[in-house]
């Protein structure tokens, strides 16, 4: 039985030349490949901006696709203890590289999830086997990597992809899968993915399973996200003192669309800048959103807290 790859794998760059965005970082990685020598590195940035793609693409370019004996990829969030570092990581690090390239690569994805003990063990491993092995660490938060490791690595900070770069990626999939996407669908994809190409790819593939002709509505439905106008409508009703209509909009978001409180607050925060109100009022809305988010994170009832936020905005009228 022939099973197609998920699009996140199918459209993953096969070489550094295929990486979308991150041009400055890609050029530096290409120079490392040309010299066949490179330092330990930390790839820092948000999800879906190309950290893993760059690491694997660089390894493919460096080893000409023959990576089995020279490249090891591990997810540190699944194997985050000191035993893993002392075991499989150390065993691979101390082996001799086979091939023209004298050094191997260990890629630790989500390395900021490693425990403190595991990171200290990793530091010692990096020192001991510096001649045989280079380490590439991927992290959403570089500050969670201990300073002794940071000082032994070159830190590459991946920035969010621009709208034009995301459109370029969408066109690549549209052409490869023979999809029918109009401008509104592309805008919806960019909005709901929030700079995360992995999320964008999964949403697009899920929508394409229903039909090759994808609509704006199907994108929002698959992503379980509200349209910007629905969030703005809820906030406007609340700020206008109409709490009942604001609560009806909230019912639509939570009950009909199945949105979580976190998603509603995140979208509300994004849409504050699009409200046609004074700057001071925008500051008040942001403050209410932040307080509501804090209470929910601490364990308070989601529905009650969001209604309280809307009530507070209505009382300011």
Residue 114 CB neighbour total at 10 angstroms = 27
**The predicted structure's pLDDT at residue 80:** 60
Cβ proximity of 257 and 224 under 8 Å: yes
Positive or negative, the CA dihedral 240, 245, 246, 252 is negative
Q: Which parts of the chain fold into alpha helices (H)?
A: 7-10, 23-35, 51-63, 82-84, 90-93, 116-128, 147-150, 163-177, 183-193, 197-208, 216-223, 228-239, 243-251, 261-271, 279-297, 302-315
Residue 23 CB neighbour total at 10 angstroms = 10
Q: What's the rounded Cα separation, in Å, for the pair 107 and 130?
A: 15
For 64-115, the pLDDT digits (tens) are: 878 878 898 888 766 666 766 777 888 888 877 777 788 899 999 888 888 8
Per-residue pLDDT of the chain (317 residues; tens, 9 = 90+): 344 778 988 888 899 999 998 999 999 999 999 998 899 999 999 888 999 999 999 999 998 878 878 898 888 766 666 766 777 888 888 877 777 788 899 999 888 888 888 888 889 888 988 888 999 999 998 889 999 999 999 999 999 898 999 999 999 999 999 998 999 999 999 999 888 899 999 999 999 988 889 999 899 988 888 888 999 999 999 999 999 999 999 999 998 888 889 999 999 999 998 888 889 999 999 999 999 999 999 999 999 999 999 999 999 87
Inter-CA distances, 7 with 22, 45, 199, 208, Å: 21, 22, 11, 11
Q: What is the DSSP letter of 159?
A: P
Q: What's the rounded Cα separation, in Å, for the pair 222 and 245?
A: 26
Residue 156 phi/psi, 5° resolution? -105, 120
Cβ proximity of 249 and 233 under 8 Å: yes
Of 240, 235, 314, 224, nearest to 273 by C-alpha is 235
Residue with tokens 């704006």: 216
Both tokens assigned to 78: 């699944």
Question: 3-state class of 59 per DSSP?
Answer: helix
Both tokens assigned to 288: 């209410």
Cβ proximity of 33 and 62 under 8 Å: yes
Q: Which parts of 2-129 fold into alpha helices (H)?
A: 7-10, 23-35, 51-63, 82-84, 90-93, 116-128
> What are the structural domains, with CATH classification, of the chain?
7-157 (3.40.50.300), 163-223 (1.10.8.60), 228-315 (1.20.272.10)
Cβ proximity of 54 and 87 under 8 Å: no
Residue 64 CB neighbour total at 10 angstroms = 10
**The predicted structure's pLDDT at residue 230:** 92
Mean pLDDT estimate for the chain: 89
**The predicted structure's pLDDT at residue 166:** 92
Q: What's the rounded Cα separation, in Å, for the pair 89 and 175?
A: 40
Pairing of β 104-109 and β 71-75: parallel
């Amino acid at each position: 039985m022939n099973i197609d790859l998920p699009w996140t794998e199918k459209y993953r760059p096969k070489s550094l030349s295929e990486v979308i965005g991150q041009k400055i970082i890609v050029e530096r990685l290409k120079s490392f490949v040309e010299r066949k020598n490179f330092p330990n590195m930390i790839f820092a940035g948000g999800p879906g901006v190309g950290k893993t793609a760059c690491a694997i693409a660089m390894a493919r370019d460096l080893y000409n696709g023959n990576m089995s004996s020279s490249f090891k990829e591990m997810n540190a969030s699944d194997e985050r203890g000191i035993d893993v570092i002392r075991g499989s990581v150390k065993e691979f690090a101390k082996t001799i590289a086979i091939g023209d390239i004298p050094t191997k690569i260990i890629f630790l994805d989500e390395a900021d999830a490693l425990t403190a003990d595991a990171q200290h063990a990793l530091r010692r491993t990096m020192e001991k086997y510096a001649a045989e092995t280079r380490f590439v660490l991927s992290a959403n938060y570089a500050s969670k990597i201990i300073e002794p490791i940071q000082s032994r690595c070159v830190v590459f900070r991946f920035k969010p992809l621009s709208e034009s770069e995301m459109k370029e990626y969408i066109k690549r999939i549209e052409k490869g899968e023979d999809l029918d996407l109009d401008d509104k669908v592309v805008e919806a994809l960019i909005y709901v993915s929030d700079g995360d190409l992995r999320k964008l790819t999964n949403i697009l593939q899920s929508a394409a399973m229903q039909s090759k002709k994808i609509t704006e509505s199907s994108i929002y439905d698959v992503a379980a996200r509200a349209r910007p106008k629905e969030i703005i409508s809820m906030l406007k009703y609340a700020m206008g003192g109409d709490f009942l209509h604001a609560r009806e909009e909230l019912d639509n978001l939570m009950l009909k669309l199945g949105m979580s409180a976190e998603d509603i607050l995140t979208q509300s925060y994004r849409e504050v800048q699009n409200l046609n109100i004074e700057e001071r009022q925008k500051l008040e809305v942001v403050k209410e959103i932040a307080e509501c988010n804090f209470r929910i994170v601490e364990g308070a009832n989601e529905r009650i807290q969001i209604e309280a936020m809307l009530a507070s905005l209505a009382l300011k009228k």
